[in-house]
Amino acid sequence: MGTAFLGMSLDVTPSMDRAGLSRKEWFVALVAAHGGSSNEAASSLGVQPRAAEQLLEAARSKLGARSSSEIRRVIPT
């Protein structure tokens, strides 16, 4: 399943190794890795900005990352 973000199609297929992240956590982490904001991820997912922030925090925790720049090192962009 691909989800569009800023005209790019980000692959969030279930077969992909997502480091234990849910599809939404993976998508928000990909958006962050590409320099996007939680608000942009929320808009693409159709969720509230606070929900996207919580998804990003959960992804950071699972990935052992403290920032979006650390997420970029863990997730291939």
Check which CATH number belongs to the domain holding 38 and give it.
1.10.10.10
* Total number of domains constituting the chain: 1
pLDDT average, residue stretch 6-27: 69
Q: Among residues 29, 36, 33, which one has the least CA distance to residue 5?
A: 36
What's the predicted TM-score (pTM) here? 0.76
What's the farthest any 2 CA atoms get from each other in the chain?
A: 29
Q: What is the torsional sign of CA 9, 14, 17, 19?
A: positive
- State the pLDDT at residue 2: 53
**Contact between residue 65 and residue 71 where contact means Cβ atoms under 8 Å apart:** yes
Give the type of residue at 31: V
Who wins on pLDDT, 65 or 75? Answer: 65
pLDDT of 17 reads 61
Q: Give the tens place of pLDDT for each residue, 22-73.
A: 999 999 999 999 999 999 999 999 999 999 999 999 999 999 999 888 998 8
Range of the structural domain that residue 46 is part of = 2-74
